[in-house]
Amino acid sequence: MKIAIPADEKRIDSTVCQSFGRTPFFVIYETETDDAEFLDNSAASSQGGAGIKAAQTVADSGVSALLTPRCGQNAAEVLTAAGILIFKTENSSITESIADFKEKRLEQLQEIHAGFHGHGG
Amino acid sequence: MPDFTDMAAKNLKIAILSGKGGTGKTLLSVNLASTAADSVYVDCDVEEPNGHLFFKPQWNIEKEISVKIPQVDPNKCDGCKKCVEFCKFNALAYINKNLKIFDDVCHSCGGCSLVCPQGALTERDKAVGTLSVGDSEGVRVLSGMMKTGIASGIPIIKELLTQCGSLEDDRPIFIDCPPGSACIVMESIKDADYCLLAAEPTIFGRHNLEMVWSLVRLFEKPHSVVINKCVDQSDPTDEFCKENRIKILEKIPFDVELGTLNSNGKIAARENTKYRDLFSSLLEKIYREVPHEATVNSER
Amino acid sequence: MKQLLILSGKGGTGKTTVASAFIRLSEAQAYADCDVDAPNLHLITKHSKAPSRKDYYGMPKAEIDPDICINCGKCMENCRFDAISANERSHFVDPFGCEGCGVCKFVCPVNAVSLHPSVAGDLMLFKEGSVTFSTARLKMGSGTTGMLVSEVKKQMKESAEDTDFAIVDGSPGIGCPAIASLSGADMVLIVAEPSLSGISDMQRIIETARIFGVIIAVCVNKSDTNPDNTNRIKDFCKLEGIPYTGSIPFDPMAVKAVNKGMSIADIDCPSGRAVKEVFNETMHLIIREGKDVQNDKNLWAATH
């Protein structure tokens, strides 16, 4: 299955970005084959509504799940509408988070924070 | 006390602003409007309106202010996503054959309805605040209040000033501006004939006066300063004004009684003669300033 | 990084005075001034080196090329922000009114409109040893204040990654700059003023802060200027289950200290002593954050 993770750099050994909407990149990881590709997040430089735009990018990439430390209301609405499950990462390493997911150690994200009304950070 | 009715030019608009909150904008605007007796007071600080607490007017009109937000006809939408791509504010997303519209991020520019090739987008109203009009002892009070959670008060300020513009009398208008120098302040002073800058005699006060002074000069508004809560003969703000040859119209000394009256929501000028005289004298000075400034400007 | 945000709702209540005292007392290694419209914190915090600066780009602005413009008026007709006017030669955009929405560009039949990046402010970062201070100044007349506030906090977080605790001097009001100040805050201390205006504004900022589910606490500054109102505020907090962390008296020495660029915690004075108490109470709350602080009437009682 394909999953997405916000990434600080375009490297698999990088860290999970703490912001979903303004992450510079997303890593799209295929768990069956361990293939990874990186997407630029055009929402990173948006004036507002970054979470919404980032969620659209993730939804368009065809993933079934997103691993992230946090997510805003507006972004969550978009992801849920696309049928994408949102899991909360516990580790700051991308590779560790993928391992956590594969081994079913991750829980679904419960605390969806209030929309930042276009001004999050 | 002088008769002010003939002193003010027709519909003279005086904006009272300051770079920083808590310097006495509302104290000044409320008391000046009150002293002018037959006047209009407009509270443009729509995030935290306070003027009505002093006037306690009889409200005659309450109007809901709304902005336009898009809505989609799913039968006409064919998923081309031109609207999603157009929106500079990222207020739209298209997921699973469904267009999602995010009200709180939308800036009501109307662009998406224009770009939609299928005509699937129309607009609906979303309430962002209220505008109230009332009277209090000869002062017409216009107050706007923004709903919490809304990002911008500009639509409400625009409506407040439009209402002022449509007044059928000649009364002077005192505009209580929001603090700072951002776009909402600009909106409030756009049509002002004269700007009164309230400042504090502290380094913060000076720093913030500098910012709002740049704004009034950019807009080429005649202006002067009132320093409020003065303790010493000289202070950083006073020095700044002298260095830059900005006219100080009045220095109101720090006064516990005035502060107490104000904190209890009392209009000092209505409470006792000492303050009635203070604001009366200030009002007179302002009225004398305006034609003078107008003359100077026209000579440039 | 835990963030303590100082807010007030109303301006002039003493947010920056309290924030600067807290910074001194906590020896915070990271702090930020989010009042980008009227930043003042740098006037009290001492920095020997100049900050590094960065342009902040707000929304792009539209520009009409007068040589291409045919004065058809479609742009003005469609501009929702009254940002376009005309003379006999051409139409033109008021950059202060323009929100960068792109509608004029879309409707122009001759492609006379272009959108350009526009500098809306100035970001500054002071970094000395282990101390990070992030601030910014909005260019006057700009919008997108909220975005700049977010940039100030982001700059602070990125520069002080290993720091556990940061203090943020927030934006006044309840609009987008205050909302942007709130995002990412773990706790908010509201500095209220005992006046009718102050009480009204305090209630509105509490309403705004509640949307964010952060821990909220209140203190009153210049409390002795109106003891009745101070009591009203205390009663309000009790009813609402909001912790009240203390009262600071009006103090002429505070103004003298501030004018000398010092915080009230730097000198021995009544407000300085009171702010220390408020600081202690507030810090207790942050430490106990895991417990249900909001709506805990026993906790309210315990802080008195």
User: A58 to chain B, minimum CA–CA distance in Å?
Assistant: 11
Q: Is the sign of the CA dihedral C260, C262, C265, C266 positive or negative?
A: negative
pLDDT at A94: 95
- Tell whether the model's pLDDT for residue C67 goes beyond 50: yes
Say whether A121 and C211 touch across the interface (CB within 8 A): no
User: Which one has a higher pLDDT value, B177 or B233?
Assistant: B177
Which residues of chain A are within 8 Å of residue C119 when distances are taken between CB atoms? none
Confidence bin at B293 (pLDDT 50/70/90):
low
Band (pLDDT 50/70/90 cuts) for residue C185 is confident
Query: Contact A113/C147, CB-based, under 8 Å?
Result: no
Residues 36-75, chain C, touching B (beta carbon < 8 A)? 37-38, 40, 43, 59-60
Q: Higher pLDDT residue, C150 or B198?
A: B198
Say what angle helices C270-287 and C15-26 make with each other, to 10 degrees. 70
Determine the Cα–Cα distance for residues C170 and C139; give it in Å rounded to an integer. 18
Return d(Cα B13, Cα B41) in angstroms, integer.
10
Give the global pTM: 0.80
Question: pLDDT (tens digit, 9 = 90+) per residue, A47-100?
Answer: 778 899 999 999 999 999 999 988 888 899 999 999 999 999 988 899 999 999
Q: What is the phi/psi pair of residue B142, to 5°?
A: -115, 125
Q: Report the mean per-residue pLDDT for chain C.
A: 87
Closest CA to C173 of B150, B209, A115: B150
CB contacts, 8 Å: B236 with chain C: 259
- Per-residue model confidence (pLDDT) at position B192: 93
Q: In terms of DSSP bridges, do strands B248-253 and B223-230 run parallel, antiparallel, or are they unpaired?
A: parallel
ipTM: 0.82
Helices (H), C29-110: 74-78, 103-107
Count of CB atoms within 10 A of residue B183's CB? 24
Best of C171, C179, C186, C188 to substitute, by most chain A Cβ atoms within 10 angstroms, is: C179
* Confidence label for C301 from pLDDT (cuts 50, 70 and 90): very low
User: How far is residue A114's CA from residue A55's CA, in Å, rounded to a whole number?
Assistant: 15
Tokens 């600009």, residue located:
B186
Classify residue B190 by its DSSP letter: T
**pLDDT computed for residue A45 by the predictor:** 76
pLDDT higher than threshold 70 for residue B260: yes
Overall average pLDDT of the B294-299 stretch: 44
User: Tell me, what's the pLDDT at B295?
Assistant: 45
Measured over the CA atoms of residue B210, residue B213, residue B217 and residue B219, the dihedral's sign is positive
> What's the rounded Cα separation, in Å, for the pair C37 and B24?
18
Residue range C266-285, pLDDT digits in tens: 889 999 999 999 999 999 98
DSSP C225: G
User: Of A37, A14, A35, A18, nearest to A27 (Cα)?
Assistant: A37
Strand partners, B245: none
B182 pLDDT band, cuts 50/70/90, is: confident
For residue A118, the model assigns a pLDDT of 45
Name the percent of chain B lying above pLDDT 90.
60
Separation in Å, CA of C147 to nearest CA in chain B: 11
Give the integer Cα–Cα distance in Å for C30 and B141.
45
Say yes or no for a CB contact (<8 Å) between A118 and B151: yes
Distance CA(B209)–CA(B159), nearest Å, equals: 27
Interface test with C, best of B202, B203, B263 (most C CBs within 10 A): B263
Distance (Å, rounded) from C-alpha B216 to C-alpha B197?
9
Band of pLDDT at residue C213, cut at 50, 70 and 90: confident
Q: What single letter denotes the amino acid at residue B105?
A: V
Nearest to C162 by CA among C29, C273, C24: C29
Closest Cα to residue C56, out of C115, C123, C117, C134?
C123
Rounded to a whole number of angstroms, the distance from the CA of C187 to the nearest CA of chain B is 19
Pairwise CB contact (< 8 Å): C141 & B203: no
